[in-house]
Amino acid sequence: MQNLIEKKNSNSVPIQQAIGNNGKKPLIQIHQLDKTYVNAAGEFIALKNINADFYQGEFIAVIGKSGSGKTTLINMITGIDRPTSGEVIVGDVPVHTMSEGQLATWRGRNLGIVFQFFQLLPMLSLIENIMLPMDFCHMYTARQRRERALELLRSMELEEHAYKLPSALSGGQQQRVAIARAMANDPPIIMADEPTGNLDSNTADIIFKIFDDLVSQGKTVVMVTHDSSMAKRVDRTLLIADGEIINEYVATALPLLEHKLMLEATHNLTPLHFDPGATVLTEGGLADKFYIVTQGFAEVVLHRPKGSDVIVSQMGVGQYFGEIELLRGGPNAATIRASEHTPLEVVAIERQTFKKLLATSEGMQAVIKQVADERLAENIETRTKDAK
């Protein structure tokens, strides 16, 4: 008997690109990093068990509430501050082991740092501010430094202001000069700590476009921001709560949860692997988990007694399944399997934890219920057509 699988293209979910690195080596690697500050009041844990990778040509936003640890993380990467334990490796350089003298030279050649309040030296002209990092790191000849500084100002449309003091410029113009200064030694990495936090929305948009252009040139930009609209426009976000990184797939699938609840979900994830074509859930079987796809594709398959099985939809990275059964009760409404072409990686949340999370977030519960209703209606429609 021929067992054909039909794909319903009109109803399938658009395939999403996997969050990943295509096998490239990370440009920045952070391994099991902790940072604890000690003061008169006792110990304060600023970062806890941070593991993260950043790749060449990525635009990453580091987001989180005030005091969550965003700036501390940036300071670990730049070497402005040191971890209590763990590793920070940039390129092949273990930043956490370098002396202050080594760090200053290395930082000047390899990192461009942009601050919220510009940090331009007030008694130096714009061109002198940009030339300063080149002088410090002994990069280029004296003539080349001046030419490069003018070229960078030209790229920021500020060449005519080259010999003015920073105070003669607006805040947005000063931030563009600060970016030009960060690019003085042509570093591969730009670290920006709230670069648009002191600017109006139109000027912030200009600054964002400049960073976006730098990424298109192969630079890696890591930007701390409170601006949710900016965070949505980058390649990837790193969400921090209480000094810990929230799993990016949890943040994608359950965006309306409070950060502390996302962190609770992160602590309760179980990673699972399925070979190509392997069954994850069987129609009519026990429903006990909520699944989020982290790599590959999951197919929703319905059995049709009078015909071949049909693939109702396909779910990619960041999408989820298992919610229908957990919300409504009862057995699995469909079979879920890995695509026949690639392995499937998921993270799973147990029923009790999932229900507890939704019970504390009416907004997230409403969104997931709507998705569940739409998927269930799609399943019923497929079965009804088959019955006819």
73-83, pLDDT tens digit by residue? Answer: 999 999 999 99
- pTM passes above 0.85: no
307 has pLDDT over 70: no
Q: Is 85 contained in some domain?
A: no
266 has pLDDT over 90: yes
Angle between helices 126-136 and 100-110 (to 10 degrees): 120
pLDDT for position 306: 64
CATH number at residue 352: 2.60.120.10
245 has pLDDT over 80: yes
Overall residue count recorded for the chain in this entry: 388
pLDDT for position 117: 83
Confidence of residue 17 (pLDDT cuts 50, 70, 90): very low
Q: What is the pLDDT averaged over residues 243-259?
A: 92
223 has pLDDT over 80: yes
Q: Which residues pair with 190 in a beta bridge?
A: 112, 221
pLDDT for position 385: 66
Q: Are residues 227 and 99 in the same domain?
A: yes
Q: Are residues 182 and 214 in the same domain?
A: yes
State how far the alpha carbon of 188 is from the alpha carbons of 164, 217, 295, in Å. Answer: 28, 10, 28
Q: Is 38 contained in some domain?
A: no
146 has pLDDT over 60: yes
Q: Are residues 131 and 214 in the same domain?
A: yes
Specify the 3-state DSSP secondary structure of 124: coil
What is the tens place of the pLDDT at every residue in 272-305?
Answer: 999 999 999 998 888 899 999 999 999 998 876 6
Strand pairing category for 270-274 and 344-350: antiparallel
State the virtual CA torsion across 286, 247, 11, 21 in degrees, nearest 10: -130
Q: What is the pLDDT averaged over residues 134-157?
A: 92
Q: Is 50 contained in some domain?
A: no
Confidence of residue 21 (pLDDT cuts 50, 70, 90): low
Q: Are residues 188 and 60 in the same domain?
A: yes
pLDDT for position 66: 86
Q: Is 346 contained in some domain?
A: yes
Q: Are residues 239 and 289 in the same domain?
A: no
Q: Is 3 contained in some domain?
A: no
Q: Where are the alpha helices (DSSP H) in the chain?
A: 70-78, 100-110, 126-136, 142-155, 171-182, 201-216, 228-231, 248-253, 259-267, 323-328, 351-359, 362-387
pLDDT for position 6: 35
Mean pLDDT of the chain: 87
Helix (H), strand (E) at residue 350: strand 344-350
Instruction: Print the domain residue range for 159.
Output: 56-76+92-245
SS (H, E, C) 287-344: CCEEEEEEECCEEEEECCCCCCCEEEEEECCCCEECHHHHHHCCCCCCEEEECCCCCE
8 has pLDDT over 60: no
354 closest CA partner among 291, 294, 292, 290: 290
Q: Are residues 290 and 362 in the same domain?
A: yes
